[in-house]
Every structure is written in C-alpha cells, then in structure tokens.
Amino acid sequence: MKAKRTFYSERIYPLLFMFAVTFFCILLTSGLHLATQDKAITNERSFTRRAILNAGGVDFENTTEGIEEAYQSKIEEKDGYYVADSENGKRYIIPVEGPGLWGAITIMAGFEEDLSTFSGIAIVSQNETPGLGARIEEPWFTEQFRGKQAPFTLVEEGTADAATEVDAITGATRTSEYFRNLTNRAADDAKRIIGGE
C-alpha cells in the first residue's frame, strides 16, 4: 500500500473492516439459517419417524406428508419407546445407540409382541465408511433381521438361513460386529424397558 502509515490505517481501519465483514457475513448466514430452520427440523423429525415406521413394519407413503399421516394414526409414544399398531398386531419399537467403527450408530429396533422376535430395524444415523460399512443402511441388510431372534451370530454375506444368523457385510467386518452387538443389546433393552414394567 502506497498510503502513508498512520495509527488509523494500521490499527483502527483493519479493526473496523474486519468488524464490518464479520457483521455482514453473520447477518447473511444467520438469516439463511433462520429462514430454513423449520424445514431442517421437519426433515430431521421426518427421518426419525420414518425409521420408527420402518422398524414397526407399518406401511406408509414415502413422502413427508405420508410419513406424518402414518405416524399420527399408527404410532403411540411411550416413555422411552414407541408402540405401533400394525396390520399384524402390536409392535414395540425402541431407539438404541452404540459405537460403530467411526462414530455412534443409532437405530430403531422393532419387536413383535413377544419382545424377542424382530419386526424390523431402521438406521437413524451412522458414520460408517461409505460403500462398505455404510451398507448397513441398504434394505437387504436391515430387512434380514425381520422375524429373527437375538442373540445373533454373523455369517458370511449371503449365507444366513437359521433364525439367529445374520449376513455380515464383506469388507466391513468391524461394522458388522458393532451392529450385531447393537442389535443384541436392543433385544435386552426391549425385555428390560418394555417387558419389565
């Protein structure tokens, strides 16, 4: 800069400039955040509710409204768990969280009335390796728990047939193990929290 260095140009101006830039940037981002906040919250709630419906084996239309409608009419919220009124009787759904390979995995685990047969599983959140561990989100993996009973043993991908066997994911052995532990714990939790009252 060719201008001569004064106290103002060296100390005050940079401070004022940075303050102005910061003020403007924060105004912009917080404005946008507030404008989309409702939508973000709706999305988040919709994700959780869809997971509960999936775990309970309730049929629904996969849109925000469809999820909302099915949830309002079929799901009853209890303390720490949910009761679904499905076509095949009552189902009990509990949220379970446990460690994964990179971060926590949260699932909704649904049970038949006997509290030991799974009616379904749905992932709420996970941070596993995309393409490997993240395949726990794929339908073939979550669907296989339906009608099975914990404690589970892992077998090679594509070979599970007994009622306590589940397919592991090739290339994601650790994630599969964490997931098995999580589902086993879900079954214990269900007996303790829902059955023990």
Partner 1 sequence: MANKLLRKTFMEPLGKNNPVFVQILGICSTLAVTNKLQNTMVMVLGVMFTTALSSLTISLLRNHIPSRIRMMVETMVIATFVIIVDIVLKAFYPEMWKQLGPYVGLIITNCIIMGRIEAFALQNKPMLSLVDGLASGLGYAYVLLAIAFVRELLGTGSLWGYQILGSWWTNWSIMIMPPGGFFVLAIIIWIIREKFMKEAKND
Q: Which residues bind partner 1 (CB under 8 A)?
A: 1, 9, 13-14, 17-18, 21-22, 25, 28-29, 32-33, 36, 39-40, 43-44, 47, 125, 127, 129-132, 134, 170-171
Q: How far is the CB of 47 from partner 1 (least distance, A)?
A: 7
- C-alpha to C-alpha distance for 154 and 82, rounded to whole angstroms: 28
Enclosing H/E stretch for 49: helix 13-56
By beta-carbon proximity to partner 1, the closer residue of 21 and 162 is 21
By beta-carbon proximity to partner 1, the closer residue of 36 and 88 is 36
By beta-carbon proximity to partner 1, the closer residue of 3 and 72 is 3
Q: How far is the CB of 161 from partner 1 (least distance, A)?
A: 19
- Of 145, 129, 152, nearest in space to 93 by CA: 145
The alpha-carbon radius of gyration of the chain (Å, integer) is 24
Beta-carbon contacts of 115 under 8 Å, excluding residues fewer than 6 positions away, are 92, 190, 191, 194, 195
Q: How far is the CB of 159 from partner 1 (least distance, A)?
A: 15
Q: How far is the CB of 37 from partner 1 (least distance, A)?
A: 8
- Of 84, 110, 89, 77, nearest in space to 186 by CA: 110
Q: How far is the CB of 124 from partner 1 (least distance, A)?
A: 10
- Cis omega (within 30 of 0) on the bond before 95? no
How many residues are given for the chain? 197
- The tokens for 167 are 């397919």
By beta-carbon proximity to partner 1, the closer residue of 158 and 196 is 158
By beta-carbon proximity to partner 1, the closer residue of 40 and 162 is 40
- The tokens for 135 are 């395949």
